[in-house]
Amino acid sequence: MPPQSSPSPTPIIFSPQTLADLKRLQQAALSSDYAYKEVAHLANHIGPRLSGSAQAAKSVAYVASELKAIGCEVQLEKVMV
């Protein structure tokens, strides 16, 4: 039986404007300590976040409020854990 080759991935083509926007976002992310500070806050102020725990709920509320503060549209949904 001949070896199966995986299909080559379809290239995703972005417009020049989208590529420029993505590059700008990448550079901003790499030059900022924002993400590190967010993770540090979760680890140092909220602590372990086991599913269904009070800390998990607190971390969800914190991240949702931070995302809203930077202009993201946030929708929380109940899940069964």
Q: What is the pLDDT of residue 3?
A: 61
Let me know if residue 79 belongs to a domain.
Answer: no
What confidence tens digit (pLDDT) does each residue in 19-67 have?
Answer: 999 999 999 999 999 999 999 999 999 999 999 999 999 999 999 999 9
Alpha carbons within 13 angstroms on the beta-carbon side of residue 27 total: 6
Let me know if residue 55 belongs to a domain.
Answer: yes
Instruction: Give the N- to C-terminal CA distance of the chain in Å, as an integer.
Output: 45
- pLDDT band with cut points at 50, 70 and 90 for residue 11: confident
Q: What is the pLDDT of residue 1?
A: 56
Q: What is the pTM of this model?
A: 0.66
Q: What is the pLDDT of residue 80?
A: 84
| CA–CA separation, 54 and 63 (whole Å) | 14
Let me know if residue 60 belongs to a domain.
Answer: yes
Instruction: Give, in order, the Cα–Cα distances in Å from 46 to each of 11, 43, 71.
Output: 41, 6, 23
Q: For residue 29, give its domain range.
A: 17-69
Let me know if residue 47 belongs to a domain.
Answer: yes
Total domain count for the chain? Answer: 1
Let me know if residue 76 belongs to a domain.
Answer: no
* Number of helical (H) and strand (E) elements in the chain, helices listed first: 3, 0
